[in-house]
């Protein structure tokens, strides 16, 4: 314990207590006050240790009640399927998969539903944008914004990231048209045609399509629904093939919401240094955390090789089309690529969003949304475990979806068209890999509230999927 800080000692002691079941799932941990007096520690040290455990999804804070062990609800079975390691290959996406991707981008069980009232958070956001439009002066509209984007928004983003343990300066950020655009810039800047890129399997299908269009080859690394990309498997991959870049989502990887532990992150960065990789961190789900948002991998990047990509699409609005990138040693190249492929982003829009962040609206929206997402997630998981056959699900501590593993005879791809005819959109497992795996799996989103029509659609799923 010699070299450890006090908060690390406390964190280790609490973790051991959870592993030894001194505190079981759902148990309340000792209060901050009692930990301070028993362990002879300051309040700040105790809070820091608790927040780190919370960020790892091991405990959760309940307002005015304390911290509770949240490792894994009783009786829930977790997915067991694991990707195979196969040689790098070019990506080829079929038309059927393209169709599914187009429809699933909505992250919903139902076809587009655009009725009802706008939530107050979006009304406030739109007001901020409207004010920025009205504030335009003189010949503002005649100018292109700088490629890096509006400095006011980059300052707000830097403050936002500082809360998550990453001290970034506005100069290290570049505004993009969303996270997919950021991932595109990251790959264009760090790879050349024919290079091999390591990805999570199952992982984000948008990345696979991007690799296909850029003529990059892919190698899939088995990924757990709890801890993310498997570091032993990554090490094996890196020793067997020359890999140029690795795309990971340490904070709530899609489809299952895995959260990468601190120790894995350090091992990933050590591997990246040894094999001279670009590490592209897809951080888009970080602010959907059900507890505190975890620190990004980028916060540990002393070697300037982690490119962080993110956007407002998952935590605020998909229609903003605003994201950001921090490009590490490739940042200048990324700025240039943004200039050349798009010139600029809308200045008025960035001004509106930065005001929405500066006046506290964004933070309070995230706090409210956390509670809604937790409710949605719990209802979804409870419903899945009433199905007539064995269902295994991930237990995400963030993200917007659950990964569902059904019995081996189920073929979610062939159920897709049947679902569509019945007004239900599913996201079949094979979408999340290039090798046709995960036929008996699917992703189900809890981004939307479980209103009557969604509940009804969810109720029809077992019939659609299990009785093929």
Shortest Cβ distance from residue 339 to a second copy (Å)?
A: 7
Show contacts with a second copy in window 109-148 (CB under 8 A).
112-118, 122, 126, 129-130, 133-134, 136-147
Shortest Cβ distance from residue 123 to a second copy (Å)?
A: 9
Q: In the set 65, 193, 302, 360, which binds a second copy (CB under 8 A)?
A: 193
- Select the span of 12-20, 267-275, 310-318, 355-363 touching a second copy (CB under 8 A): 310-318
Q: How many CB atoms lie within 10 A of CB 122?
A: 15
Q: In the set 225, 431, 447, 461, which binds a second copy (CB under 8 A)?
A: 447
9 Cα distance to chain centroid: 29
Q: In the set 58, 188, 229, 271, which binds a second copy (CB under 8 A)?
A: 188
If 0-12 CB within 10 Å is exposed, 13-18 middle and 19+ buried, where does residue 226 land? buried
- Select the span of 244-252, 312-320, 364-372, 403-411 touching a second copy (CB under 8 A): 312-320
203: contact with a second copy by CB under 8 A: no
CA distances from 143 to 128, 138, 153, 344 (A): 21, 11, 18, 10
- Select the span of 16-24, 178-186, 271-279, 456-464 touching a second copy (CB under 8 A): 178-186
Q: In the set 304, 319, 389, 390, which binds a second copy (CB under 8 A)?
A: 319
Count the residues of the shown chain that bind a second copy, applying the rule CB under 8 A.
Answer: 66
**Is the Cβ of residue 74 or residue 117 nearer to a second copy in the bound state?**
117
414: tokens are 């062939």
Torsion from C-alpha of 373, 438, 269, 274, nearest 10 degrees:
-170
CA–CA distance, 332 with 324 (Å, rounded to integer): 14
* DSSP result, 365-392: HHHHHHHHHHHHHHHHHHHHTTSSS--E
**Is the Cβ of residue 121 or residue 286 nearer to a second copy in the bound state?**
121
CA distances from 107 to 102, 295, 400 (A): 10, 25, 8
190: contact with a second copy by CB under 8 A: no
CA–CA distance, 315 with 366 (Å, rounded to integer): 7
Spatial contact of 59 and 297, defined as CB atoms under 8 Å apart: no
**Is the Cβ of residue 4 or residue 192 nearer to a second copy in the bound state?**
192
Shortest Cβ distance from residue 175 to a second copy (Å)?
A: 11
Torsion from C-alpha of 357, 158, 198, 252, nearest 10 degrees:
-50
**Is the Cβ of residue 91 or residue 238 nearer to a second copy in the bound state?**
91
Spatial contact of 76 and 63, defined as CB atoms under 8 Å apart: no
Q: How many CB atoms lie within 10 A of CB 176?
A: 26
Shortest Cβ distance from residue 457 to a second copy (Å)?
A: 15
340: contact with a second copy by CB under 8 A: yes
For 467, residues 6+ apart whose C-beta sits below 8 A from its C-beta are none
Partners of 162 in the β-ladder: none
Q: In the set 45, 288, 347, 369, which binds a second copy (CB under 8 A)?
A: 347
For 418, residues 6+ apart whose C-beta sits below 8 A from its C-beta are 464, 468
**Is the Cβ of residue 192 or residue 390 nearer to a second copy in the bound state?**
192
**Is the Cβ of residue 125 or residue 243 nearer to a second copy in the bound state?**
125
326: contact with a second copy by CB under 8 A: no
Element of type H or E holding 96: helix 95-104
Spatial contact of 402 and 374, defined as CB atoms under 8 Å apart: no
**Is the Cβ of residue 61 or residue 106 nearer to a second copy in the bound state?**
106
Show contacts with a second copy in window 72-101 (CB under 8 A).
98, 101
Show contacts with a second copy in window 348-387 (CB under 8 A).
348-349
Show contacts with a second copy in window 385-414 (CB under 8 A).
none
252: contact with a second copy by CB under 8 A: no
**Is the Cβ of residue 132 or residue 238 nearer to a second copy in the bound state?**
132
CA atoms within 13 A on the CB side of 401: 24
Shortest Cβ distance from residue 349 to a second copy (Å)?
A: 8
**Is the Cβ of residue 40 or residue 134 nearer to a second copy in the bound state?**
134
Q: Which residues bind a second copy (CB under 8 A)?
A: 98, 101-102, 105-108, 112-118, 122, 126, 129-130, 133-134, 136-147, 177-178, 180-181, 184, 188, 193, 206, 209-210, 212-213, 215, 313, 317-321, 336-337, 339-349, 447-448
């Amino acid at each position: 314990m010699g070299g450890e800080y006090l908060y690390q000692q406390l964190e280790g002691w609490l973790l051991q207590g959870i592993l030894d079941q001194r505190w079981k799932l759902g148990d309340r941990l000792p209060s901050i006050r009692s930990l301070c007096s028993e362990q002879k520690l300051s309040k700040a040290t105790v809070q820091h240790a608790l927040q780190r455990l919370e960020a790892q999804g091991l405990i959760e804070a309940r307002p005015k009640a304390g911290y509770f062990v949240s490792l894994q609800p009783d009786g829930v079975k977790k997915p067991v399927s694991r990707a195979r390691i196969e040689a790098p290959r070019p990506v080829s996406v079929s038309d059927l998969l393209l169709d599914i991707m187009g429809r699933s981008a909505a992250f919903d069980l139902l076809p587009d539903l655009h009725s009802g009232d706008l939530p107050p958070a979006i009304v406030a956001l739109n007001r901020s944008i409207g004010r920025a439009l009205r504030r335009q002066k003189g010949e503002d509209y005649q100018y292109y914004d700088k490629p890096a984007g509006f400095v006011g928004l980059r300052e707000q983003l830097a403050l936002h990231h500082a809360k998550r343990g990453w001290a970034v300066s506005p100069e290290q950020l570049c505004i993009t048209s969303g996270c997919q655009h950021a991932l595109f810039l990251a790959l264009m800047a760090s790879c050349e045609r024919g290079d091999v890129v390591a990805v999570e399997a199952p992982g984000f299908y948008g990345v696979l399509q991007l690799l296909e269009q850029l003529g990059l080859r892919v190698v899939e690394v088995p990924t757990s629904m709890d801890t993310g990309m498997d570091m032993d498997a990554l090490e094996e991959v890196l020793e067997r093939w020359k890999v140029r870049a690795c795309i990971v989502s340490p904070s709530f990887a899609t489809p299952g919401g895995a959260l990468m532990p601190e120790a894995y992150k350090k091992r990933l960065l050590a591997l990246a240094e040894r094999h001279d990789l670009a590490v592209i961190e897809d951080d888009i789900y970080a602010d959907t955390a059900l507890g505190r948002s975890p620190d990004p991998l980028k916060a540990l990047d002393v070697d300037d090789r982690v490119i962080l990509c993110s956007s407002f699409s998952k935590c605020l609005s998909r229609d903003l089309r605003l994201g950001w990138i921090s490009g590490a040693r490739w940042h200048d190249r990324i700025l240039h690529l943004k200039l050349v492929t798009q010139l600029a982003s809308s200045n008025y829009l960035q001004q509106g969003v930065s005001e929405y962040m500066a006046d506290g609206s964004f933070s309070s929206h995230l706090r409210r949304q956390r509670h809604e997402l937790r409710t949605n997630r719990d209802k979804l998981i409870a419903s899945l475990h009433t199905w007539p056959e064995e269902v295994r699900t991930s237990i995400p501590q963030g993200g917007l979806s659950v990964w569902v593993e059904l019995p081996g005879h189920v073929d979610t791809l062939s159920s897709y068209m049947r679902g569509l005819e019945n007004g239900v959109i599913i996201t079949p497992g094979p979408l999340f890999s290039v090798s046709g795996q995960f036929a008996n799996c699917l992703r189900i989103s809890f981004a939307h509230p479980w209103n009557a029509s969604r509940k009804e659609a969810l109720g029809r799923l077992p019939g659609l999927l299990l009785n093929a």
